[in-house]
Amino acid sequence: MSPPTQETINAEICELRDAYAKAVAGGAPRRDHPDRDYPPYRSSVLRHPKRPLVAVRDPEAMELTGPVFGTTDVTELDSDLTRQHVGEPLGERITVTGRVLDRDGRPVRGQLVEIWQANAAGRYAHRREQHPAPLDPNFTGVGRCLTDDEGRYHFTTIKPGPYPWGNHTNAWRPAHIHFSLFGTAFTQRLVTQMYFPGDPLFPYDPILQSVTDEAARRRLVAEYVHDLSVPEYSLGYRWDIVLDGPCATWMEKGR
């Protein structure tokens, strides 16, 4: 069966938006997080959990804690994706920084923040990557850091390019960076995505459009801050991450 066309995807998105707006107008609570099965995002229908969670007799035995999250495992080089190889990577160098906050705006300290992304041509350095864009031998696209006492993280990287992803006819993902946040164990992991302002692909992306609340969708887009730009070196973006509460950042389900 051939993938649906963009017109079909747009019609489904409009229908879901209208249904959500009508429900909110009727008194239903607003929600920032999308349904687990969002039809325009085709694979969500196939992979979302359909059975209740399995109760574990010994929850502590299921958690991995320890030195893998320790400060000695994270170096300065881990947060600068442009200096992890001998040569200079291709593309627009950027600085991405922000704060990890709780629902009351308090900083979350010592949080392990990991990122992964495509290169400037829109290709991931992964063996299962199918996009025939060029690889960059000087860019792997993976980094990590620990938040400081103010909850702040900081990365230097290359602005990723858009890429096709086969969800529907002529489907392209907007430029984005994946973020993973850990507490003190693997069971406390959250995953989300950061986008860049003014991307023309926003209306055509079912993943972003699955966040039906407009304010929550805007919170996924980084802000360009000129004062964060480094002269003759990089452009600066700020993106804060709120872990819970009414202004929480959208997190991917099933992670």
Q: What percent of the chain has pLDDT over 90?
A: 53
Six-digit token pair at 211? 């966040």
- pLDDT of the residue at 157: 98
Active-site residue, selected from the candidate residues 153, 178, 195, 219? 178
- Checking phi first, is residue 186 left (phi over 0); if not, alpha (psi -120 to 50) or beta? alpha
Burial of 206 (0-12, 13-18, 19+ CB in 10 A): buried
Could you write out the three-class secondary structure of 150-212?
A: CCEEEEEEECCCCEECCCCCCCEECCEEEEEEECCCHHHCEEEEEECCCCCCHHHCHHHHCCC
Q: Pick the residue with more confidence: 70 or 23?
A: 23
Q: Pick the residue with more confidence: 61 or 183?
A: 183
Pairing verdict, β 93-101 and 241-242 = parallel
C-alpha–C-alpha distance, residues 190 and 208, integer Å: 17
Is the pLDDT confidence value at 17 over 70?
A: no
Is the pLDDT confidence value at 35 over 70?
A: no
C-alpha–C-alpha distance, residues 103 and 235, integer Å: 29
For residue 70, the one-letter residue type is: G
Tell me the pLDDT band of 222, cut-offs 50, 70 and 90. very high
Which residue ranges make up each domain of the chain? Answer: 6-252
- pLDDT of the residue at 74: 86
Does the annotation count 153 as an active-site position? Answer: no
For 117-130, the pLDDT digits (tens) are: 999 999 999 888 88
Could you tell me how far CA 86 lies from the centroid of its own chain?
28
Tell me the pLDDT band of 67, cut-offs 50, 70 and 90. very low
Does the annotation count 33 as an active-site position? Answer: no
Cα–Cα nearest to 199, from 168, 169, 173: 173
- pLDDT of the residue at 99: 97
Is the pLDDT confidence value at 66 over 60?
A: no
Give this prediction's pTM.
0.82
Average pLDDT over residues 47-64: 68
C-alpha–C-alpha distance, residues 152 and 111, integer Å: 9
Active-site residue, selected from the candidate residues 38, 173, 195, 237? 173
Is the pLDDT confidence value at 14 over 70?
A: no
Average pLDDT over residues 133-138: 95
Q: Are 199 and 174 in contact (CB under 8 A)?
A: yes
CATH number of 6-252: 2.60.130.10
Does the annotation count 176 as an active-site position? Answer: yes
What residues are paired with 146 via a beta bridge?
112
Does the annotation count 163 as an active-site position? Answer: yes
Active-site residue, selected from the candidate residues 38, 41, 153, 163? 163
Mean pLDDT of all residues belonging to the chain: 84
- pLDDT of the residue at 136: 95
- pLDDT of the residue at 231: 95
